[in-house]
Amino acid sequence: MLHIHQLHASIAGKEVLKGISLHMKPGEIHAIMGQNGAGKTSLASVLAGRDEYTVTKGDVQFSGKDLLALSPEVRAREGLFLAFQYPPAIPGVTTEEFLRTSLNEIRKYQWKSTIDPFELRDLLRPMLAKVHLSEAFLERHMNDGFSGGEKKRNEVLQMLLLEPKLCILDETDSGLDVDALKTIAASIRDMRSPDRSFLVITHYERVLEELQPDVVHILHNGRIVRSGDMALARQIEREGYEAAIDQNA
Amino acid sequence: MNFFDAVVRALHKKHGEGSGGSFIMPTIKTEGYAHAGLRQLLAQERELLIFDDSLTLPALDVPYDVVLWNGGLLPRAQHAEFHLTHENPAPLAADTSSFSDLARALTSTLVVRITASPKTPLSLGWICDALRPAILCSSLRIEVAGGIQASIILEDRALSENHLHLSSLELVLEESSSLDCALLANAHAPTSLRGVQATVHANAKLRMIRTVSPTGRAREEITCEIFEGAHASLRALMVQKTGHTSLSTRMVHKEKNASSMQIFRSAVFSGAEVDVDVRTDVAPHASGTSARQETKHLLMEEGAKAYTVPRLFIHNDDVVCSHGATMGHATPELLSYMATRGIGEQRAKALLALGHMAELAHHLPASCEANYLASLRSLFQLGS
């Protein structure tokens, strides 16, 4: 599914990824944990193709394609989805309009027919229920005046709708109360399939207990310094990052 | 004597007597006419020009009163008022061509006086249809009286379809009355309207929204005079695909405790230009004034041009006035976010422009908002 080899990247001249290698198989959930500034969001952003980052070295294969050669929109159309930690507001554009545009752009790329507003509503109804949002939510302007929880639910709603192959969740659990966290985790679990993978970036073991990832990585200073299973996440929760990193050293 | 003979005779008499006096036409009552019959009457007899406030149109449930103001043959100060109701169908069955000519000659200014609250907005399209000969006038004056709430939709399309060239509009809101006024552009041709002058008397409320044609060249001036405790808002939506729109607006606070808003949005394509000269004047005795100006230009492409000149002339210390003007391209952060959702740059920019305009478009009359947004979708090539 995703093969990252010795990835180096910088932003504004500062190197933030310093040789990351990671291999994900279809159907796997990988968790990335790490202290603030470790490079977690940078990794997600580079994979999504955000243009403020410059890849200086390395190679990323996604479903057999050279991911780094693709534009950000083509990466999305190929099935890569990034759930943002801080999704921006788009005043004046309704959530429904945005979702329909996004879905139709992806469907056109996949040589599928576009869908009309009525079909979209039918599609979205059960998904909205899944993330505990009402239909009226679709009339609101995208992320404009949304609470933190609504923004995160909206990101998950998009993920449910677009059915990507690889879902990257950048601290989607941060700032959520326990109920919201369980709702979102349940949606992600429902999406799990043998041909869909998840890269979950988080500070907290709690969401990982809900998702039960196959692999847990610690990212530190732009590198993956340790990988393990859920036991590693529990150790971090119990002892902190420094201890977990030191143990590896 | 039939109705038209009466008009002609009265006019002949008028000319014969020189410039003095005015005349009142015979009354034609509408009672007894069903809705369908009245519509049919209007369809067949476009020369039915004037209604007094005893006429109620079932379709709109709008009692109102239309006065023809003569700025042509008669001195403007000595206007001719026609108070007609329909009493007998016979006069309207007569050959009306002479009356049609007469109406053309008579009316350089049409005055519509609204004296009761309509349940649905008055539409210039409807007025054009009913008053086709009369509205060859170049200026229209709308008066709202009696503390009522009224709304009117003036569509450039209705004007152009009727080959009409309205160049000026005057709005008069008498004390404590309220008017929602939508001035809607033709999508394919610039407006003939050059000036709007509004007078908002004490405690009255004027909410005006203007859309401009995305093509061609247009220059328009809008001025509002605001009296004690009154409120006036002006919103303008300007999508400029080609050509140049120049909008000059002015809110004049004449008395105390009045408020005003001037809020403009534009989306400008390559080679097109929008300039907005927005001005607020506060008179020395207009204490307690609250005034706001806000202009946001979105440049869709390289080569698009937009200008704002905000001006404040404040002659009183007890005022709250704010102004803000922004201009720029779509923000990279939003384009980047949309790219991660599979939306390419061109389409993302179009969607952002639609959103930029939609923020103000919800102030349009509900019956017009969907059409306006559909026209923008088409213009931005966003599909249905």
Confidence bin at B25 (pLDDT 50/70/90) = very low
What is the C-alpha end-to-end distance of chain A, expressed in Å?
30
The average pLDDT across A44-53 equals 92
Q: At residue B83, does pLDDT exceed 90?
A: no
**Domain around B189:** 3-331
- How many angstroms separate the CA atoms of B376 and B17, rounded? 56
Lowest model confidence (mean pLDDT) among B29-33, B73-77, B128-132: B73-77
The average pLDDT across B277-297 equals 95
Cα dihedral value B328, B334, B338, B339, nearest 10: 80
Secondary structure element (H or E) that encloses residue B313, with its range: strand B305-314
B124 within domain boundaries: yes
The ipTM is 0.93
- Quick check: B351 and A97 CB within 8 A? yes
Question: Alpha helix (H) ranges present in chain B?
Answer: 3-16, 35-44, 89-93, 97-106, 124-130, 156-161, 332-339, 345-361, 366-379
Predicted local distance difference test score (pLDDT) of residue B165: 63
Pick the CATH number of A2-248 from 1.10.540.10, 3.40.120.10, 3.40.640.10, 3.40.50.300: 3.40.50.300
* Chain B touched by A165 (CB under 8 Å): no
Secondary structure element (H or E) that encloses residue A168, with its range: strand A166-170
In chain A, where the domains are located: 2-248
What are the pLDDT digits (tens) for B217-259? 888 999 999 999 999 999 999 999 888 999 999 999 999 999 9
Predicted local distance difference test score (pLDDT) of residue B38: 35
* Chain A touched by B373 (CB under 8 Å): no
Choose between B56 and A82: higher pLDDT: A82
Q: Would you say A189 and A210 are in contact if contact means Cβ atoms under 8 Å apart?
A: yes
- Quick check: A93 and B342 CB within 8 A? no
Report DSSP letters for B26-44, one per residue: PP---TT--HHHHHHHHHH
Report DSSP letters for A176-239, one per residue: --HHHHHHHHHHHHHH-BTTBEEEEEES-HHHHHHH--SEEEEEETTEEEEEE-HHHHHHHHHH
Q: At residue A213, does pLDDT exceed 60?
A: yes
What are the pLDDT digits (tens) for B113-156? 665 555 555 555 444 444 444 434 566 778 887 777 877 888 77
Q: Which two tokens stand for residue B71?
A: 């700025």
Q: At residue B42, does pLDDT exceed 80?
A: no
CB-based burial label for B326 (10 Å; 0-12, 13-18, 19+)? exposed
Predicted local distance difference test score (pLDDT) of residue A248: 60
Choose between B266 and B27: higher pLDDT: B266
B358 within domain boundaries: no
Confidence bin at B12 (pLDDT 50/70/90) = very low
The average pLDDT across B319-343 equals 92
If one counts the domains in chain B, the total is 1
Predicted local distance difference test score (pLDDT) of residue B384: 61
Choose between A149 and B34: higher pLDDT: A149
Q: Which two tokens stand for residue A117?
A: 């507003």
3-state secondary structure of B331: coil
Predicted local distance difference test score (pLDDT) of residue B260: 97
Average pLDDT for chain B: 70
The average pLDDT across B81-96 equals 28
Q: Which two tokens stand for residue B363?
A: 């102030």
B355 within domain boundaries: no
Q: Would you say A248 and A225 are in contact if contact means Cβ atoms under 8 Å apart?
A: yes
B373 within domain boundaries: no
B343 within domain boundaries: no
Q: At residue B200, does pLDDT exceed 50?
A: yes
- Quick check: B337 and A84 CB within 8 A? yes
- How many angstroms separate the CA atoms of B147 and A121, rounded? 44
CB-CB: which of A51, A73, A90 is closest to B342?
A73
Q: At residue B192, does pLDDT exceed 90?
A: no
Predicted local distance difference test score (pLDDT) of residue B116: 56
- Which residues of chain A does B336 touch, with a Cβ-Cβ cutoff of 8 Å? 50-52, 72
Predicted local distance difference test score (pLDDT) of residue A174: 82
Range picked from B92-106, B277-291, B365-379 for highest mean pLDDT: B277-291
Buried/exposed A120-132: b ≥16 CB within 10 Å, e otherwise: beebbeebbebbb
- Quick check: B336 and A91 CB within 8 A? no
Q: Would you say A171 and A203 are in contact if contact means Cβ atoms under 8 Å apart?
A: yes
Q: Which residue has the tokens 């009045």?
A: B258
Phi and psi, residue B78, nearest 5°: -115, 75
Percent of chain B with pLDDT over 70: 59
- β-strand partners of A219: A224
B360 within domain boundaries: no
Q: Which two tokens stand for residue B295?
A: 């202009």
B382 within domain boundaries: no
- How many angstroms separate the CA atoms of B111 and B82, rounded? 11
- Which residues of chain B does A102 touch, with a Cβ-Cβ cutoff of 8 Å? 338, 341-343
* Chain A touched by B370 (CB under 8 Å): no
Within 10 Å of residue A92's Cβ, how many Cβ atoms? 22
Lowest model confidence (mean pLDDT) among B7-21, B65-79, B186-200, B202-216: B65-79
